[in-house]
């Protein structure tokens, strides 16, 4: 049972435009959400996070929006750059937080075309 879902396996965007990556979750008991970026054959690197008490967090070109009523979060990248091409994972932390456990979505592969 996939509690965190990224329903778009891939996304292609033109350089300079906005990239919007989406993530849905089914469990209301998530406390915190994170986005990770992953290049092929490398480990994921942390990008940005948001607490469930907020609805927006911004860091440079990256903004994460949280809509708790819709159980939906999105990552906006503006402007998109070719170096942003990677797989993006959203992850959620349960309230009960067993040992800092993260629950990951399947990932969305972003391709930014020059």
Partner 1 sequence: DGGITQSPKYLFRKEGQNVTLSCEQNLNHDAMYWYRQDPGQGLRLIYYSQIVNDFQKGDIAEGYSVSREKKESFPLTVTSAQKNPTAFYLCASSTDRGDYEQYFGPGTRLTVT
Binding residues vs partner 1 (CB under 8 A): 4, 6, 9, 32, 34, 36, 41-46, 49, 89, 91, 93, 97-102, 104-107
C-beta closer to partner 1: residue 50 or 77: 50
Tokens of 84: 């942003």
Calpha distance 68→70 (Å, rounded): 5
Q: What residue has token string 């979505």?
A: 105
Q: How far is the CB of 44 from partner 1 (least distance, A)?
A: 5
CB of residue 50 to partner 1, shortest distance in Å: 11
């Amino acid at each position: 049972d996939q509690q965190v879902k990224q329903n778009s396996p891939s996304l292609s965007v033109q350089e300079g435009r906005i990239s919007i990556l989406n993530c849905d979750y089914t469990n209301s008991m998530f406390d915190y959400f994170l986005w990770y970026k992953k290049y092929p054959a490398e480990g994921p690197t942390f990008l940005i996070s948001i607490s469930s008490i907020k609805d927006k967090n911004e860091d440079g070109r990256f903004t994460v929006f949280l809509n708790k009523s819709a159980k939906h979060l999105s990552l906006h990248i503006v402007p998109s750059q070719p170096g942003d091409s990677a797989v993006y994972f959203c992850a959620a932390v349960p309230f009960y937080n067993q040992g800092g456990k993260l629950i990951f979505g399947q990932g969305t592969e972003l391709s930014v075309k020059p």
